[in-house]
Amino acid sequence: MGIQISLSREFQRREVLVSGHVVPKPGRCVQCGICSFNCPIGIDVRRHAWLGEHIEASQCLTCGECVRRCPRGVLSFERTELFMKGF
């Protein structure tokens, strides 16, 4: 039972990771750069927040490192249309 719950959670987590992208709320961002510093592939997430743009770079792994590390809750995952169910 425990294993089933754990697998289900892991499935949900991965589903979000592959079907979402990172979205900044520029009204919260103070440009500290923690997000860019922690991006494993060097995307300048901070610049996206300055410009108010979603992180739609095809290289983005949606690993969630920037979302997790932001000290001001600026970044979040949002579902993309691209992988909606029924596609």
Partner 1 sequence: MNRYVIVGTGVTGVTALNTLRTNDPSAEISMVGDDPHGFYSRPGIVYYLNGEIPENQLPIFSKKDWKPLNVHFVKGVASRLDLRNHLLEIDSSSVLKYDRLLIASGSTAVTLTIPGACLKGVVKLDDFEDTRHIISLARHANCAVVVGGGIIAVELVEGLMARGLKVHYFLRGDRYWPNVLDEKESRLLEHRLAEDGVILHYQTEAAEVLGKRGKVVGVRTTKGETIRCQVVAVGIGVKPRMELAKSAGLATDRGILTDETLQTSSPDVFAAGDVSQVHDPQSGKSIVDTLWHPALDKGKVAAINMTGKRSTYVRTLTTNVLRLAGVLTSIIGAVGSGVDDDLVSVARGSSETWHELPNTISLESNGDVNHVRLMIGEKKLVGAIVMGDQKLSDPIQELISSKVDISSIRNLLIPGAPLGQIIMDFWSAHKLPVRSA
Contact positions toward partner 1, by CB under 8 A? Answer: 23, 25-28, 30-34, 36-37, 46, 50, 52, 69, 71-74
Q: Which is nearer to partner 1, 11 or 50 (CB)?
A: 50
Give the nearest distance from C-beta 43 to partner 1 in angstroms. Answer: 14
30: left (phi over 0), alpha (psi -120 to 50) or beta: alpha
Q: Which is nearer to partner 1, 7 or 56 (CB)?
A: 56
Token output for 87: 């596609």
Give the integer Cα–Cα distance in Å for 46 and 24.
Answer: 9
Give the nearest distance from C-beta 9 to partner 1 in angstroms. Answer: 18
Give the integer Cα–Cα distance in Å for 50 and 27.
Answer: 9
